[in-house]
């Protein structure tokens, strides 16, 4: 059931490394485009995103796609480190808040820092869910549900494709 509910907004992220740093350079140098969220934002046209992201990353991050459950690179990764946005490099989650939700996607009970994730009501597919979006680049990450573990009771269900894992102490 959770699978059915979640099977809507996640993905994989193999070749995100280079993209992320490239993205950063252009990111902070101001571009002409749409949506503005915070001061330090990454704004690109669809064409620009297509050049930087893999087709799967583009489908998930820019078109709100979902990677197939149990297929993502980070679903079973429990190494210490930080998960950043695959598109812009913003820190999103820390490994010590990751847990096995059994849903087929990386799950976390807390965002890495306040303001790094934007929540938006998503009424697609006949359901009412809360979409989670990177506040820096506007990339679709997944959804957040209120059936997570304590101390927050939240479950941030994220596409692996939307993330890039940086190993390190956490
Ligand atoms: Fe981002």
DSSP letters for 12-58: --STTHHHHHHHHHHHTT----S---SSS-----HHHHHHHS-HHHI
Residues 157 and 107 sit within 8 Å (Cβ to Cβ): yes
User: What pLDDT is recorded for position 170?
Assistant: 57
Catalytic residue numbers read 157
- Rounded to two decimals, the pTM is 0.77
| Alpha-carbon 143 to chain mean position | 9
Non-local (6+) Cβ contacts of 125 within 8 A are 8
Residue 150 above 60 pLDDT?
yes
Cα 127 to averaged position of ligand 1 atoms, centre (Å): 25
Place of tokens 């990353």: 57
Helix residue spans in 29-143 (DSSP H): 46-52, 55-57
Place of tokens 């479950």: 155
Residue 41 above 50 pLDDT?
yes
Place of tokens 């939307």: 162
pLDDT per residue over 71-117, tens digit each? Answer: 999 999 999 999 999 999 999 999 999 999 999 999 999 999 999 99
Higher pLDDT, 24 or 63: 63
Work out how many domains the chain is built from and give that number: 1
Higher pLDDT, 159 or 16: 159
Cα 2 to averaged position of ligand 1 atoms, centre (Å): 26
Of 138, 132, 134, nearest to 119 by C-alpha is: 132
Residue ranges making up the domain that contains 36: 2-16+23-167
Place of tokens 């503005």: 36
Give the range with max mean pLDDT: 24-38, 105-119, 156-170: 105-119
* Structure-token pair, residue 35: 């949506």
User: What pLDDT is recorded for position 59?
Assistant: 98
Non-local (6+) Cβ contacts of 81 within 8 A are 95, 165, 166, 167, 168, 170
User: What pLDDT is recorded for position 163?
Assistant: 98
Q: Beta partners for 134? A: 117
Q: Residue 143 is part of a domain; what is its CATH number?
A: 2.170.150.20
d(CA 10, CA 104): 10
Cα 91 to averaged position of ligand 1 atoms, centre (Å): 8
Which of 6-15, 108-117, 121-130 bottoms out in mean pLDDT, i.e. has the lowest? 6-15
Calculate the average pLDDT of the chain: 83
Quick one: residue 89, left, alpha or beta (phi over 0 = left, psi -120 to 50 = alpha)? left
């Amino acid at each position: 059931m959770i699978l059915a509910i979640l099977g809507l907004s996640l993905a994989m992220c193999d070749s995100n490394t280079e993209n992320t740093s490239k993205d950063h350079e252009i990111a902070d140098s101001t571009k002409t485009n749409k949506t503005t969220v915070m001061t330090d934002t990454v704004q690109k046209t669809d064409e620009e995103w297509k050049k930087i992201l893999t087709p799967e990353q583009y489908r998930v991050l820019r078109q709100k796609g979902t990677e197939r459950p149990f297929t993502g690179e980070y679903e079973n990764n429990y190494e210490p480190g930080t998960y950043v946005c695959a598109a812009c490099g913003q820190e999103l989650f820390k490994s010590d808040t990751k847990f096995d939700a059994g849903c087929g996607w990386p799950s976390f009970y807390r965002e890495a820092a306040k303001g790094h994730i934007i929540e938006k009501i998503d009424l697609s597919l006949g359901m009412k869910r809360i979409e989670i979006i990177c506040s820096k680049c506007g990339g679709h990450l997944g959804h957040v549900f209120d059936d997570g573990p304590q101390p927050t009771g939240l479950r941030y269900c994220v596409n692996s494709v939307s993330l890039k894992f940086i190993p390190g102490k956490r």
